[in-house]
DNA sequence: TTAAACACTACTAATTTGATGGACAAAATA
DNA sequence: TATTTTGTCCATCAAATTAGTAGTGTTTAA
């Protein structure tokens, strides 16, 4: 299950991705637009900033913006920061592998094999989905819209 | 994340699937073989029985067996019983749909769309994976082994 | 100097998870 | 029939996680 936190993070990042290039968006604005508790959202944005996906400016007229182009930030990155590995079970994870305490023969474990398949399928979708895809404002779409 | 409970359930069902046709397997045996807490396992088997995947016999020489052929029981069925819907988020679930309280426009929600894709991919794998597949003892494999 | 914004720490209530323990009921067998 | 062995069911529980809230501090623009 995706946590509320990760869901809010995705929504916030999508909101930031709709902004013009360097434009800041304030936590309160995002909170209102996306219907998310403001203080909780601040915690989330802080964590995203510490992980290099968002930049912030303090003080009056401060706010948040994406730290990188929208087409270089994926749902997978955001979810891993908020919720940890995508795999349904640690022994099937690439980014957060951990052996099952109760496992007798990992090589032969059908549960692990299947969960690895699930992880791979989820990763393919989530690591392939960028904020630009989500907002429909990536370079290709823009070009097409302009007619170039 | 798959809960311990669901993982134990899958392991127990795989153990039952390796038994000859109507042969019973006792909770204590499964617990030892699969390295699972016995009392916890009993709770799990009870729930699987109530959901029609397992049958049980009480008293001396009692035990558990699959209630249906191994090639008609899937990982998806087992996981849904133990952990609920496969979708990462309720608004993307087929079997347990629930609207997000904070959602303004569900039709346009990129998070929901993507999570639906993830759900579909996971469901395709898990609903396609039977206990027979997991043990390699389905009819086709048996036939091939015999040379028929 | 003040108001408005992010930064950071601490706390908490509710829920879920992963069990454990014990009384009870059924079935086989001596 | 008495005993033993097994599943059934109910109650309880500790630890972890989730989803926040509150409040103080720090920075910046006006």
Q: Which helix (H) or strand (E) holds A56?
A: strand A54-57
CA separation, residue A75 to residues A9, A40, A72, A79, B44 (Å): 10, 20, 10, 6, 34
ipTM score above 0.90: yes
Q: Does A125 touch chain B (CB under 8 A)?
A: yes
Q: Mean pLDDT over all residues of chain B?
A: 93
CA separation, residue A102 to residues A6, A144, B8, B11, B38 (Å): 30, 54, 9, 11, 13
Nearest chain A residue (CA) to B119: A122
Read off the pLDDT band of A148 (50, 70, 90).
low
The predicted-structure confidence for B27-45, as pLDDT tens digits, reads as follows 999 999 999 999 999 999 9
pLDDT of residue B59: 97
Q: Which helix (H) or strand (E) holds A105?
A: none
Q: Which helix (H) or strand (E) holds B41?
A: helix B38-50
Give, in Å, how far the C1' of D2 lies from the CA of B60: 15
Q: Which helix (H) or strand (E) holds A63?
A: strand A63-66
- In the predicted structure, residue A143 carries a pLDDT above the cut 60: no
Instruction: For residue B137, give both structure tokens.
Output: 């003892």
Q: What secondary structure letter does DSSP report for B86?
A: S
User: Cα angle at B48 between B90 and A4, to 5 degrees?
Assistant: 20
Q: Does B88 touch chain A (CB under 8 A)?
A: yes
The predicted-structure confidence for A62-93, as pLDDT tens digits, reads as follows 999 999 999 999 999 999 999 999 999 999 99
- Separation of alpha carbons A133 and A72, rounded Å: 10
Query: Testing the interface with B: which of A6, A122, A123 to mutate, by most B Cβ within 10 A?
Result: A122
- Mean pLDDT value of segment A41-69: 98
pLDDT of residue B22: 81
The CATH class for the domain spanning A4-71 reads mainly alpha
- In the predicted structure, residue B55 carries a pLDDT above the cut 60: yes
- In the predicted structure, residue B121 carries a pLDDT above the cut 80: yes
Strand D nucleotides, any atom under 7 Å to a protein CB: 4-11, 18-23, 26-30
- In the predicted structure, residue A27 carries a pLDDT above the cut 50: yes
Q: Does A114 touch chain B (CB under 8 A)?
A: yes
The predicted-structure confidence for A112-128, as pLDDT tens digits, reads as follows 999 999 999 999 999 99
**Alpha carbon of A42: minimum distance to chain B alpha carbons (Å):** 17
Among B33-37, B80-84, B135-139, name the one with the lowest average pLDDT. Answer: B135-139
Q: Does A141 touch chain B (CB under 8 A)?
A: no
Going by C-beta distance under 8 Å and a sequence separation of 6 or more, which residues neighbour residue A47?
A9, A81, A82
Residues of A whose CB is below 8 A from B104: 34-35
Read off the pLDDT band of B139 (50, 70, 90).
low
Q: Largest Cα–Cα distance of chain A, in whole Å?
A: 60
Percent of chain B with pLDDT over 90: 89
**Buried (b) or exposed (e) across A48-82, using 16+ Cβ within 10 A?**
beeeebbbbeeeeeebbbbbeebbebbbbbbbbbb
Does A104 sit within 8 Å of B35, measured CB to CB?
yes
- In the predicted structure, residue B148 carries a pLDDT above the cut 60: no
Nearest to A98 by CA among B71, B148, B138, B1: B1
Read off the pLDDT band of A21 (50, 70, 90).
confident
pLDDT of residue A138: 47
Nearest nucleotide to B25, CA against C1' atoms: D6
Residues of B whose CB is below 8 A from A126: 114, 118
- Mean pLDDT value of segment A86-111: 95
Read off the pLDDT band of B136 (50, 70, 90).
confident
Read off the pLDDT band of A140 (50, 70, 90).
low
Nearest to A122 by CA among B119, B3, B127: B119
Which chain A residues in 12-51 lie under 8 Å from chain B, judged by CB atoms?
Answer: 14, 34-36
């Amino acid at each position: 299950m995706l946590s509320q936190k990760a869901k809010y993070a995705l929504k916030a990042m999508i909101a930031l991705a709709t902004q013009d290039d360097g434009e800041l968006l304030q936590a309160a604005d995002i909170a209102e637009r996306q219907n998310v508790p403001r203080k909780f959202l601040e915690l989330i944005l802080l964590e995203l900033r510490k992980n290099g996906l968002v930049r912030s400016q303090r003080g009056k007229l401060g706010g948040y913006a994406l730290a990188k182009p929208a087409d270089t930030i994926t749902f997978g990155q955001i979810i891993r920061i908020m919720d940890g590995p995508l795999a349904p079970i640690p022994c099937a994870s690439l980014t957060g592998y951990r052996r099952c305490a109760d496992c007798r023969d990992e090589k032969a474990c059908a549960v692990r094999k299947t969960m690895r398949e699930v992880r791979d399928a989820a990763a393919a979708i989530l690591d392939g989905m960028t904020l630009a895809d989500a907002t429909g404002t990536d370079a290709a779409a823009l070009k097409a819209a302009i007619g170039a």
